[in-house]
C-alpha cells in the first residue's frame, strides 16, 4: 500500500507499483482505491473504488476533485493570509481543513457560486489577532451572483479582558457580502468581533443557518436587500467571552440583528442573549418588512421597531434586567401574535411594552407579571394607535401593583377587547387607566377587582360590556352606539343620603337615565330618589341608613338643549 498526501514537503516514496492499493490524503479527505500502473513506463496511476460498477480513474483527476487551501501553501506557515487569498482567487469550491489559520488581512472572494467548507466551526478556526489595516472585512465577498457559501468555519477575534467598551479592539466584519445575492453561511461562528455577518446593498436571497455569534456591535446586519433574506436558528450568545467582556455584550450598544432596508426578512427558531436583540430602523434605502417566528428573546427582551412592517409570532421574551424592556416601538407597524412575555425584574420605565409611535397590534398570548411590579403596556405617543385583543395578563393576586396594566397617557386611538387580568386577593392595582381624552374603546374585558381609571371629564373613551366585579366598572349598552353607562357603588350616610362624583362632562345636558338602589333591611333592592345632577355630582336620598348603594347612569355623547 502506498500513500499520496497533500502535506507540504511530504516524501511520496516508495514508488507506486501496479495493482497497489492507494490511500490518497487530500485536504483532510481520504480516498482508497487500486492503482493500476504500467511499470516501468510513463502511464499515469489510476484509482478504482472497490465497489460494483466502479471504473478506473486517473489519480490526478481524483485528487483534483477537491480543492484545499493547503494546495496553496505559502511560507511562513504562521500566517495563512497569502494561501487563503490564492485559494479564494480560483473561484472554485473547496475545503479549509481543521486547524488554526492566522489571518492578518482581507481575503476577497469572487461571487462565482463556490462553496467553501471547513470541518466544524470549532475545528476550522480563522484567527484574527489584531485589527488588519485597511480591511473592509476578513472574508470580503465581491459583487455578483450566485454568491459564495461558507460552511463549518469559525472566526475568532482576539480581545482584551475588559468590561469597558472603549478598550475593545475594533475589527471589520468577519464576513461581508457586497451586492452579492444568494449567498449562504451555515454553521459558522463569529466570536469576539465587532460585527459578525454584514450584507451591504442588494444581497437578496441570502440564507443563514445555525450562525453562532458573540460580536460586540452587530451579529447580523443588513441594509439594501431587495429579496428574501432567511436567518434560520441564529444563536447569538456570549460564546467564548470572559465575565468582563460579557458586560459589554449585554449593554445597549450590542444588537443581535440590525436591519435597515430588507424586503421579506424571515427569522426563525433562534435565541438572542445580547443587550438588544433586534432593531428595525429606516435607512436611506428604506425599512424592513418581514416575519419572526419561534424566537426566544432571552433575559434582556430587546425588540426595537422604529420603522417597517414586522410580524412576530409564537415567540418568548423574558426579562431579568431592570435597565431593559421587552418591546419598544416608536414607529412602523408591529404585529405580535401569541407571545409569552415574562417579567422577572421591573422593566425600564416599568413597562413590558412601550408604544410612542406607529401602530401596534397584540393578538392573544400572555403577559406574565407575577414576579415583578410592572405594567403590560404604556402608550404615550400622540400619533400612536393600537389594538390589544384576547391577551391574558397574569398578575400576583397578593401584590400591590403601582400602575394600571394598560396605561394610556396619550394616543391617536386604540382598542382593548377580550383582555383578562388576574383578580386580586389581598393585593391591588388597576386594569387600565386613561389619562387623555382620546378615542379608545374598552369592550368585553374581564378584570374582576381591578378598575379602569379615568383621568378627567372625557368625551371620547368608550366602555362597552366590561366586567370588573363592581370596582370602578364601566358597562356599556349592548352593541356599540352613542349610549354609555357608568356604574358606581358606595354606602349611604346615616341620614340615608348618597352622592357620587360621576366624572361626566356636561352631564346635565347628556343625561339619559339614572337607576339607583340601596339594600333594604330584608336584603332586597329598594329604589332611592335622585335629587339632582350637576356637571360633577349626582345626589340621592331615601336610602336605608348606612346601607350599600348601587347607581347606574346612562348618558349620551351628544349634548341636548332643554
Which residues, 6+ apart, have CB-to-CB distance to 9 below 8 Å?
Answer: none
Structure-model confidence comparison of residues 33 and 406, the more confident one: 406
Q: For 482-495, what is the HEC assignment?
A: CEEEEEEEEECCCC
Whether 67 contacts 92, CB under 8 Å? yes
pLDDT of residue 6: 44
Q: Which of 281, 265, 186 is CA-nearest to residue 229?
A: 265
The SS3 assignment for 136 reads: coil
Say yes or no: 380 and 277 in one domain. no
CA distance 222 to 260: 6
R_g of the chain, CA atoms, integer Å:
34
pLDDT of residue 175: 99
pLDDT of residue 22: 47
Number of domains in the chain: 4
Residue 417: band (very low, low, confident or very high) from pLDDT cuts 50, 70, 90: very high
Say yes or no: 35 and 122 in one domain. no
Structure-model confidence comparison of residues 186 and 521, the more confident one: 186
Say yes or no: 40 and 75 in one domain. no
Say yes or no: 366 and 435 in one domain. yes
CA distance 562 to 487: 25
pLDDT greater than 80 at residue 19 = no
Q: For 446-471, what is the HEC assignment?
A: ECCCCCEEECCCCCCCEEECCECCCC
Mean pLDDT of 513-531: 93
pLDDT greater than 60 at residue 375 = yes
Give the tens place of pLDDT for each residue, 152-210.
999 999 999 999 999 999 999 999 999 999 999 999 999 999 999 999 999 999 999 99
Say yes or no: 205 and 100 in one domain. yes
Structure-model confidence comparison of residues 63 and 480, the more confident one: 63
Looking at 59, 78, 111, the residue that finishes a domain is 59
Say yes or no: 35 and 99 in one domain. no
Say yes or no: 219 and 91 in one domain. yes
pLDDT of residue 4: 47
Say yes or no: 46 and 103 in one domain. no
pTM over 0.95: no
Is the bond into 35 cis (omega within 30 degrees of 0)?
no
Structure-model confidence comparison of residues 502 and 419, the more confident one: 419
Total Cβ atoms within 10 A of residue 385 = 21
Looking at 481, 503, 521, the residue that finishes a domain is 481
pLDDT greater than 60 at residue 43 = no
CA distance 422 to 393: 7
CA distance 11 to 276: 55
CA distance 163 to 483: 61
Whether 562 contacts 556, CB under 8 Å? no
The answer to the question of residue 317 being in a domain is no
Lowest mean pLDDT among 119-128, 415-424, 427-436: 427-436
Cα 460 from chain centroid?
A: 35
Whether 277 contacts 259, CB under 8 Å? no
Instruction: Give the strand pairing for 184-186 and 255-259.
Output: unpaired
CA distance 94 to 42: 30
DSSP string, 338-394: S-EEEESSPPGGGEEEEESSSEEEEES-EEE-TTS--EEEEEE-TT-EEEEES-EEE
CATH number at 517 reads 2.60.40
Say yes or no: 32 and 77 in one domain. no
Whether 384 contacts 361, CB under 8 Å? no
Whether 405 contacts 379, CB under 8 Å? no
The answer to the question of residue 319 being in a domain is no
Residue 18: band (very low, low, confident or very high) from pLDDT cuts 50, 70, 90: very low
The long-range contacts involving 461-464, CB below 8 angstroms and separated by at least 24 positions, are 461/434, 461/437
The answer to the question of residue 5 being in a domain is no
Give the tens place of pLDDT for each residue, 66-89.
899 999 988 766 899 999 999 999
pLDDT greater than 60 at residue 357 = yes
Instruction: Give the strand pairing for 392-394 and 420-421.
Output: parallel
Structure-model confidence comparison of residues 89 and 558, the more confident one: 89
Say yes or no: 38 and 77 in one domain. no
Residue 61, CA distances (Å) to 47, 111, 510 in order? 10, 25, 94
The answer to the question of residue 314 being in a domain is no
The SS3 assignment for 247 reads: helix
Which residues, 6+ apart, have CB-to-CB distance to 160 below 8 Å?
Answer: 167, 168, 169
The answer to the question of residue 85 being in a domain is yes
The answer to the question of residue 76 being in a domain is yes
pLDDT greater than 80 at residue 481 = no
Whether 342 contacts 368, CB under 8 Å? yes
Give the rounded percent of residues in the chain with a pLDDT score beyond 90: 74
Instruction: Give the strand pairing for 498-501 and 537-541.
Output: antiparallel
Name the grid cell of 363.
393578538
Alpha helices in 90-166 (DSSP H): none
pLDDT of residue 558: 55
Mean pLDDT of 243-272: 98
Mean pLDDT of 333-351: 97
CA distance 153 to 190: 9
Mean pLDDT of 141-146: 95
Return the top range by mean pLDDT from 6-15, 119-128, 438-447, 530-539. Answer: 119-128
Q: Which of 298, 137, 152 is CA-nearest to residue 211?
A: 152
- Half-sphere exposure of residue 108: CA atoms within 13 angstroms, side-chain side: 8
Query: Considering the chain, what is the average pLDDT of its residues?
Result: 88
Domain range enclosing 91: 65-296
The answer to the question of residue 562 being in a domain is no
Residue 58: band (very low, low, confident or very high) from pLDDT cuts 50, 70, 90: confident
pLDDT greater than 80 at residue 379 = yes
What are the helix and strand counts (H, E) for the chain? 3, 55
Structure-model confidence comparison of residues 455 and 347, the more confident one: 347
CATH number at 290 reads 2.160.20.10
Say yes or no: 394 and 534 in one domain. no
Q: For 42-107, what is the HEC assignment?
A: CCCCEEECCCCCCCCEEHHHHHHCCEEHHHHCCCCCCCCHHHHHHHHHCCCCEECCCEEEECCCCE
The answer to the question of residue 413 being in a domain is yes
Name the grid cell of 177.
457580502
Give the tens place of pLDDT for each residue, 531-543.
998 888 999 999 9
pLDDT of residue 472: 58
pLDDT greater than 90 at residue 455 = no
Structure-model confidence comparison of residues 386 and 486, the more confident one: 386
pLDDT of residue 266: 98
Say yes or no: 451 and 491 in one domain. no
Amino acid at each position: 500500500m502506498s500513500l499520496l498526501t497533500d502535506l507540504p514537503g511530504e516524501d511520496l516514496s516508495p514508488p507506486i507499483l501496479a495493482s497497489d492499493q492507494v490511500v490518497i490524503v487530500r485536504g483532510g479527505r481520504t480516498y482508497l482505491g487500486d492503482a493500476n500502473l504500467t511499470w516501468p513506463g510513463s502511464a499515469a496511476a489510476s484509482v478504482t473504488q472497490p465497489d460494483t460498477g466502479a471504473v478506473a480513474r486517473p489519480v490526478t483527476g481524483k485528487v483534483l476533485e477537491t480543492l484545499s487551501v493547503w494546495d496553496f501553501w505559502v511560507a511562513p506557515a504562521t500566517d495563512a493570509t497569502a494561501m487563503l487569498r490564492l485559494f479564494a482567487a480560483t473561484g472554485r469550491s473547496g475545503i479549509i481543513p481543521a486547524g488554526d489559520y492566522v489571518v492578518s488581512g482581507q481575503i476577497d472572494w469572487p461571487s462565482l457560486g463556490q462553496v467553501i467548507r471547513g470541518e466544524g466551526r470549532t475545528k476550522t478556526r480563522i484567527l484574527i489577532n489584531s485589527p488588519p489595516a485597511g480591511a473592509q472585512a476578513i472574508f470580503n465577498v465581491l459583487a455578483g451572483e450566485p454568491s459564495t457559501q461558507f460552511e463549518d468555519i469559525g472566526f475568532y477575534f482576539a480581545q482584551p479582558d475588559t468590561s469597558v467598551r472603549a478598550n475593545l479592539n475594533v475589527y471589520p466584519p468577519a464576513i461581508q457580502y457586497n451586492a452579492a445575492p444568494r449567498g449562504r453561511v451555515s454553521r459558522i461562528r463569529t466570536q469576539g468581533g465587532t460585527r459578525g455577518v454584514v450584507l451591504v446593498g442588494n444581497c437578496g436571497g441570502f440564507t443563514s443557518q445555525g450562525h453562532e455569534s458573540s460580536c460586540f456591535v452587530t451579529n447580523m446586519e443588513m441594509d439594501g436587500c431587495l429579496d428574501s433574506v432567511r436567518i434560520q436558528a441564529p444563536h447569538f450568545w456570549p460564546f467564548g467571552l470572559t465575565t468582563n467582556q460579557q458586560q459589554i455584550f449585554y449593554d445597549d450598544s450590542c444588537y443581535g440583528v440590525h436591519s435597515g432596508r430588507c424586503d421579506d426578512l424571515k427569522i426563525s427558531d433562534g435565541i438572542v442573549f445580547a443587550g438588544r436583540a433586534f432593531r428595525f430602523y429606516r435607512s436611506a434605502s428604506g425599512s424592513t418588512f418581514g416575519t419572526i417566528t419561534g424566537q426566544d428573546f432571552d433575559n434582556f427582551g430587546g425588540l426595537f421597531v422604529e420603522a417597517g412592517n414586522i410580524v412576530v409570532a409564537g415567540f418568548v421574551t423574558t426579562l431579568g434586567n431592570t435597565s431593559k424592556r421587552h418591546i419598544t416601538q416608536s414607529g412602523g407597524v408591529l404585529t405580535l401574535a401569541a407571545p409569552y412575555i415574562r417579567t422577572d425584574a421591573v422593566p425600564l420605565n416599568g413597562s413590558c411594552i412601550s408604544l410612542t409611535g406607529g401602530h401596534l397590534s397584540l393578538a392573544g398570548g400572555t403577559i406574565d407579571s407575577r414576579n415583578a411590579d410592572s405594567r403590560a403596556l404604556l402608550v404615550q405617543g400622540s400619533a400612536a394607535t393600537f389594538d390589544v385583543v384576547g391577551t391574558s395578563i397574569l398578575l400576583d393576586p397578593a401584590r400591590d401593583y403601582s400602575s394600571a396594566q394598560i396605561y394610556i397617557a396619550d394616543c391617536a386611538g386604540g382598542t382593548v377587547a377580550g383582555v383578562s387580568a388576574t383578580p386580586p386577593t389581598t393585593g391591588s392595582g388597576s386594569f387600565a387607566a386613561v389619562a387623555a381624552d382620546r378615542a379608545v374603546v374598552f369592550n368585553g374585558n374581564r378584570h374582576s377587582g381591578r378598575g379602569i381609571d379615568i383621568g378627567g371629564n372625557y368625551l371620547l373613551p368608550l366602555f362597552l360590556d366590561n366586567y370588573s366585579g363592581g370596582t370602578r366598572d364601566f358597562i356599556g349598552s349592548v352593541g356599540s352606539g352613542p349610549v354609555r353607562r357608568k356604574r358606581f357603588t358606595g354606602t349611604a350616610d346615616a341620614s340615608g343620603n348618597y352622592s357620587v362624583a360621576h366624572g361626566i362632562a356636561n352631564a346635565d345636558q347628556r343625561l339619559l337615565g339614572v337607576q339607583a338602589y340601596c339594600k333594604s333591611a330584608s336584603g332586597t333592592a329598594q329604589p332611592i330618589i335622585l335629587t339632582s345632577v350637576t356637571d360633577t355630582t349626582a345626589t340621592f336620598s331615601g336610602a336605608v341608613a348606612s346601607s350599600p348603594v348601587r347607581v347606574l347612569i346612562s348618558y349620551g355623547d351628544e349634548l341636548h338643549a332643554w
